[in-house]
């Protein structure tokens, strides 16, 4: 599942007030954020101590599985070698941040994914666990500023407390990268459109006994819809086109790292989507990065998704089979033509 080059970015921006606890938010006691929830008349503590997450071997393993698999965090927060198959972080830069430049955004924009390694000078070595929690669940940076919306906090906030804890434990275990990244910059016209999200009290573990429900959990955390849905000019997803592909990415995604335009593909069960894939073929595509003889573009993070278990990939496929079918032909092997459905130019656009 493609992710908006974008959908990968995490960058600090302007004009957000420092975090304060709202009237409905949990109270601080003893320097820690204390919360609880009620289940069948019993008051149960939330799994996660937001300010002091216990490091355990189990969380480290689970966190690596999520960060280097489902969530693909190090794609945005590393210098990437897209000429390598599959795309991978340049050695020595994992988690050290990346300057993504302007992209197709307004003049004066510079999006930078920050250094999230434990480096104390240029990275996140001085951030608290709570800083990470607020970034992932609320889109608020460690200094109180709103994160650029391509940091997929709106999807990461659905992570269970335990999965969130595991992600933070793993990220804080990365080797420090002593590299200073520039600050994100953008015109006020863009910055004022950003917003953070309200606090999350508690997110329980997903029900893995229901493949479709669990698949939705995985697809949400993997923010697949953000890449596989065309966006409006204001950045919102185009209503009625969820998972139908057509979002165009420009970057070094061609042979030998050549700069090309690549459109995300239709993942719905319509005949123009992936109706031709069965469960086994879907897993094969993710494991190999190929649909028979055709290679997936390197912006599609199959090199991360192939780290998922068969059971998780089966759940993802089960959920994708339930999303609304949308007729929308997208083919990156064809020359781009204007598509009146998604209002972009991509292969077979004139066939829609």
Q: What is the pLDDT of residues 296-323, one digit of tens each?
A: 999 999 999 999 999 999 999 999 999 9
Q: What are phi and psi of 261, to 5 degrees?
A: -100, 130
Q: 230 and 300: one domain?
A: yes
User: What was the pLDDT predicted at 4?
Assistant: 40
Residue 253 has pLDDT above 70, yes or no: yes
Residue 18 has pLDDT above 70, yes or no: no
Nearest Cα neighbor of 181 from 300, 5, 9 is 9
Q: 157 and 48: one domain?
A: yes
Residue 165 CA to chain centroid, in angstroms? 17
Over residues 57-68, the mean pLDDT reads 98
Q: 215 and 173: one domain?
A: no
Residue 152 has pLDDT above 60, yes or no: yes
Name the strand (E) or helix (H) holding 318.
helix 310-320
Nearest Cα neighbor of 219 from 324, 312, 326, 327 is 312
Note whether residue 331 is domain-resident: yes
Over residues 87-105, the mean pLDDT reads 93
User: What was the pLDDT predicted at 104?
Assistant: 79
Nearest Cα neighbor of 150 from 188, 202, 101 is 101
Q: 117 and 158: one domain?
A: yes
Over residues 330-343, the mean pLDDT reads 96
Report percent pLDDT > 70 for the chain: 86
Residue 218 has pLDDT above 50, yes or no: yes
Domain that residue 99 falls in: 36-191
Which one is predicted more confidently, 4 or 197? 197
Residue 74 CA to chain centroid, in angstroms? 10
Q: Which of 22-26, 165-169, 199-203 has the lowest mean pLDDT?
A: 22-26
Note whether residue 5 is domain-resident: no
Name the strand (E) or helix (H) holding 345.
strand 344-347
Over residues 106-117, the mean pLDDT reads 94
Nearest Cα neighbor of 344 from 332, 102, 336 is 336
Q: 180 and 263: one domain?
A: no
* pTM, rounded to two decimals: 0.85
Q: 184 and 273: one domain?
A: no
User: What was the pLDDT predicted at 49?
Assistant: 67
Mean pLDDT over the full length of the chain: 87
Note whether residue 114 is domain-resident: yes
Q: 186 and 215: one domain?
A: no
Q: 294 and 177: one domain?
A: no
Residue 40 has pLDDT above 90, yes or no: no
Q: 245 and 332: one domain?
A: yes
Over residues 4-29, the mean pLDDT reads 33
Q: 181 and 305: one domain?
A: no
User: Which of 156, 191, 226 is at the close of a domain?
Assistant: 191
User: Which of 163, 191, 219 is at the close of a domain?
Assistant: 191
Residue 47 has pLDDT above 70, yes or no: no
Note whether residue 77 is domain-resident: yes
User: Based on the structure, what is the number of domains in the chain?
Assistant: 2
User: Which of 161, 191, 221 is at the close of a domain?
Assistant: 191
Q: 249 and 315: one domain?
A: yes
């Amino acid at each position: 599942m493609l992710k908006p080059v974008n959908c990968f970015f995490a960058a600090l921006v302007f004009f957000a007030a420092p975090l304060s606890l709202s009237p409905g938010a949990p109270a601080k006691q003893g320097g820690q954020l204390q919360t609880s929830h009620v289940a069948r008349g019993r008051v149960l503590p939330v799994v996660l101590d937001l300010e002091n997450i216990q490091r355990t071997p189990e969380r480290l393993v689970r966190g690596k599985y999520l960060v280097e698999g489902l969530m693909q965090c190090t794609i945005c927060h590393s210098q990437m070698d897209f000429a390598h198959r599959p795309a991978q972080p340049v050695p020595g830069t994992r988690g050290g941040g990346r300057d993504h430049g302007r992209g197709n955004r307004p003049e004066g924009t510079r999006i930078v994914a920050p250094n999230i390694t434990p480096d104390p000078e240029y990275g996140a070595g001085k951030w608290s666990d709570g800083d990470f929690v607020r970034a992932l669940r609320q889109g608020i940076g460690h200094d109180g500023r709103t994160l650029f919306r391509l940091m997929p906090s709106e999807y990461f906030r659905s992570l269970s407390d335990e999965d969130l804890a595991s992600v933070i434990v793993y990220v804080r275990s990365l080797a420090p990268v002593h590299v200073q990244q520039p600050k994100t910059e953008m015109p006020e016209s863009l910055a004022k459109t950003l917003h953070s999200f309200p606090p999350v009290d508690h997110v329980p573990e997903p029900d893995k006994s229901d493949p479709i429900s669990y698949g939705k959990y995985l697809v949400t955390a993997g923010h697949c819809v953000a890449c596989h849905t065309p966006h409006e000019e204001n950045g919102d997803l185009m209503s009625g086109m969820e998972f139908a592909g057509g979002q165009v990415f420009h970057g070094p995604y061609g042979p030998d790292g050549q700069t090309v335009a690549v459109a995300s593909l239709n993942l719905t069960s319509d005949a123009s989507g992936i109706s031709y894939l069965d469960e086994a073929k879907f897993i094969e595509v993710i494991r190999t990065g190929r649909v028979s003889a055709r290679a997936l573009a390197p912006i599609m993070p199959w090199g991360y998704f192939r780290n998922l278990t068969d059971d998780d990939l089966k759940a993802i496929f089960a959920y994708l089979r339930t999303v609304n079918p949308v007729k929308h032909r997208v083919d990156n092997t064809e020359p781009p033509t204007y598509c009146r459905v998604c209002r972009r130019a991509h292969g077979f656009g004139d066939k829609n």
